Structure 1
Amino acid sequence: MKSLHERPAGTFADVRFVLTDMDETLTHKGRLGAATYRALEELQHAGIRVIPVTAAPAGWCDQMARMWPVDGVIGENGGFFFRREGLHELARSFWHGDYAGTVMQQLRDKAETVLRRLPGTRLADDQPFRLASIAFARDGNSRQERKVADALREQGLDVAINNLWILGWLGGYDKLAAARKMLEDEYGVDDNAADEIVAYSGDSLNDGPMFTRYRHTAGVSTIRECLDALPKPPAWITDGPGGAGFVEFAEAILADRRQTINTA
């Protein structure tokens, strides 16, 4: 992993899709800065498709897909893809298809089991806005958080812990599986073609599969906190945390694209 500013000129010249984590990658301390929003818009204006890939709930993702300068949102760690369609409509596709509602009821039942077994555990405040996962609040007690994660796994759930939630879902997918499906289904980009044209930015363990698969990856500066636990680090690291780091990544991609256009 090297500083993003050490990259050779033209490294990102062929990038056409920017996939990115949201919490503490686009945001910083829970807020989306104006410069980050502007960077998303500039990427779109340059003809680059921008797609957040996040563990955030469907309610948040609905708003992002409708109003942000993005081409769509993969949410709840891969449970669905939302994209704007027309002026006010939203196209929604779920990993579980027509069975999404049935799966969500199973998840609620399993969450109740965890709550009964582990007194003091609580669901995340955003749980009412979820359609494909259950999320438990993190309380800073690592021992208790491990118990919650173990209890979810014992019930057959996939589990991830990020900087906000302990997440559980059914289906065996992750951010990478959902990204591959979205690229193929929505844009006709197969996995081999993605090598040169897809870039990804993130900040946590939950981004590990993306860092492992894609060539053009950047971790914002706080990725250092979990490097030892990642199977593979991102190729590059930014100077700034959160949204400031994403802006660095976006500017590097845009600079390489402009250079290519100017020399064509």
Structure 2
Amino acid sequence: MKPLNDATALTFQDVRFVLTDMDETLTYRGRLSARTYEALERLQHAGIIVIPVTAAPAGWCDQMARMWPVDGVIGENGGFFFTRRASDHGLQRLFWHGDRELVRITEQLAQIGERVRRAIPSAIFADDQPFRQTSIAFARPEDAMIEAEVVAALHSEGADVTVNNLWILGWLGGYDKLSMARRILCERYDLDIDRERNAVLYVGDSTNDAPMFSFFNHTVGVSTVTEYLHEIPVAPRWISEGPGGAGFVEAACAVLAAR
């Protein structure tokens, strides 16, 4: 990783899309600062497509897609994409599984979650579980052995699993942040990321950002990414000075300077 301050004015000249994690990348210690929100707005006003790509639940993503200066939100680690309708204040919702299959998947996930809780009584659903549609989330326990047990139990149920700074996340379908980003950028924006990797900059901070860090050429880790590098096969190319939203502002400024 290189300090983001070392990037030249031309480094990000091809970037037309900024994709970013949310928790502890746009936020810091759970709060979104005015400077970070303004940076999102500045990117959008400059014609940059901005899409948070997060493990956050559908309930949170609904609000972000409606009210934030972003072009849409990929949520629950790739389970769906929400974006505002052009005609009114409503949303378009695209699910990885499709509307019909989603009902079955939701029921199956609920059953898996209850079996994991029975097997591991100390496993606790995340506070936001009632607002999820395509995933189950457990609060990360302080005991690393219990965390490993929860991860193993989810795997044994056939679930895909990742861990970030807040949750142990389980889902069904074999997708991840990169899979859904590839699909959305192709279907909605006619961008083939395999041919135009330089068109995208990704900003993240932890383990579930690993597929994005591995794929894109332009990647920035906010400063706290150093806590997770042992779990990330390919480190981000650049690292910010600041943590969370402050680091994202640095990345946004670098993209805007290249315009």
Query: Which category describes the TM-score, using the shorter chain as reference length?
Result: over 0.9
Alpha-carbon shift at residue 11 of structure 1 (Å): 0.6
1:238 has 2:240 as partner: yes
Structure 1 unaligned segments of length 5 or more: list them.
258-264
Q: State the TM-score, normalized to the length of structure 1.
A: 0.96
1:87 has 2:108 as partner: no
Residue of structure 1 in register with 2:212 after alignment: 210
Residue of structure 2 in register with 1:260 after alignment: none
Structure 2 unaligned segments of length 5 or more: list them.
none
Alpha-carbon shift at residue 196 of structure 1 (Å): 1.6
Residue of structure 1 in register with 2:151 after alignment: 149
Aligned-residue identity in percent: 62
Residue of structure 2 in register with 1:29 after alignment: 29
Deviations 1:140-190 (A, max 9, x none): 111101100100000000000111000000000000001001101111111
Secondary structure at the aligned position of 1:43 is classed as helix
1:256 has 2:250 as partner: no
State whether residues 9 and 254 of structure 2, in contact with CA within 8 Å, keep that contact through their aligned partners in structure 1.
no
Mapped partners of 2:88, 2:254: distance in 1: 31
Deviations 1:8-65 (A, max 9, x none): 2211111110000000000000000000000000000000000000000000000000
Mapped partners of 2:196, 2:164: distance in 1: 26
Secondary structure at the aligned position of 2:258 is classed as helix
Secondary structure at the aligned position of 2:51 is classed as strand
Q: State the TM-score, normalized to the length of structure 2.
A: 0.98
**1:162-177 to 2 correspondence within 5 Å?**
162-177=164-179
Secondary structure at the aligned position of 1:209 is classed as helix
Alpha-carbon shift at residue 229 of structure 1 (Å): 2.2
Q: Which amino acid aligns with 1:34?
A: A
Secondary structure at the aligned position of 1:225 is classed as helix
Instruction: Tell me which stretches of 4 or more aligned residues in structure 1 moved more than 2 Å.
Output: 191-194
State whether residues 101 and 131 of structure 1, in contact with CA within 8 Å, keep that contact through their aligned partners in structure 2.
no
Mapped partners of 2:29, 2:196: distance in 1: 31
**1:1-264 to 2 correspondence within 5 Å?**
1-85=1-85, 86-98=87-99, 99-257=101-259
Alpha-carbon shift at residue 137 of structure 1 (Å): 0.9
State whether residues 21 and 203 of structure 2, in contact with CA within 8 Å, keep that contact through their aligned partners in structure 1.
yes
